[in-house]
Structure formats: C-alpha cells, structure tokens
Amino acid sequence: MEFQFKKLVTSIVPAIFFIAACNLPILGGELSIDQMKTVMWDMMKADELNNLQSTNDTGFAGKKMNFAYYEQVFKLHNISREQFYRSLKYYESHPPQMKILIDSLDLYAARERNKIYQPGVRYGPGFGGTASPPN
C-alpha cells in the first residue's frame, strides 16, 4: 500500500508543478505561456487583417497600420509593447518553453478555427462578430 502511494505521489506531484508553471508568470515579469499564447494569436490575426487590406488597397500604408493593430492588441490584453517583446525574447532564448508555447498556440488556434465551422454559428454585425463566413 505504501509503495503504491509513493508511486502515485511521485507521478502526480511533478505533473501538478508542470501545469502550474505553465500558467505562472516568469520571474522577470514576462508573460506566462497562457497569456503569451492569446496575445500571439491576436497578433497573427492583426497581421492577416493587415495583409488582406494591403492586397485590396494599393494606397494602404501597410507597415504603419500593422503597428497600429499591434498597439490595439497590446491595449486589449493590458500589456505594453516592451512587456511583449521582453517575453518573446525570453521564450526565444529558452527553447523548451518556446516549444510549449508554440504547441499551446497551435492547439488554441485549432480550437478557435473549429468554433468558426460549428453548425449554427452566424457571422457578421449583430451576431457577435464582424467576420464574414468562410467560403
């Protein structure tokens, strides 16, 4: 009985610490993996919006608008530009955590895409969103 308890404790406790560590901010004030994941997802959407607008409008100031979109993302998440880039630099210099972040972002993106294709989901103004339905 004691052996089974030790085995259970030695397998569950590290898992709990790992899960908790994924959600806690890093000591230097960097964003946690969960925070960084949602910020990066919104920044990717801002990039895509910028790309779509620049292909449809030859007079579009793409680079200037891209920075404006990024500032909106930072404001939405209540973070500063410096905090985001400091966090990005941290994750880039820590490959194991960067892998966890990218894997987490990939899963998050898949869940978000699946929401779009659910039956009964409506798009456009007045339906909780402004996106057009996918073709």
- The answer as to whether 119 is a domain residue is no
The answer to whether residue 7 sits within a structural domain is: no
Mean pLDDT, residues 106-129: 74
CB within 8 A of 39, min separation 6: which ones?
A: 31, 73, 74, 77, 79, 84
Higher pLDDT, 34 or 53: 34
> Has residue 24 got a pLDDT over 50?
no
The answer to whether position 80 is within a domain reads yes
Domain count, the chain: 1
pLDDT in tens, 27-49: 578 999 999 999 999 999 998 88
Asked if the structure places residue 120 within a domain, the reply is no
How many Å apart are CA 18 and CA 16, to the nearest integer?
5
For the cut 50, the answer to whether the pLDDT of residue 9 exceeds it is no
CA–CA distance, 41 with 104 (Å, rounded to integer): 11
pLDDT for position 117: 80
- Average of pLDDT values for 70-95? 95
78: left (phi over 0), alpha (psi -120 to 50) or beta: left
Domain of 104, in residue numbers: 31-114
Highest-pLDDT range among 13-27, 39-53, 118-132: 39-53
Q: What is the DSSP letter of 131?
A: P
pLDDT at 17 over 70: no
Predicted confidence band at 10 (pLDDT cuts at 50, 70, 90)?
Answer: low
Whether 79 is in a domain gets the answer: yes
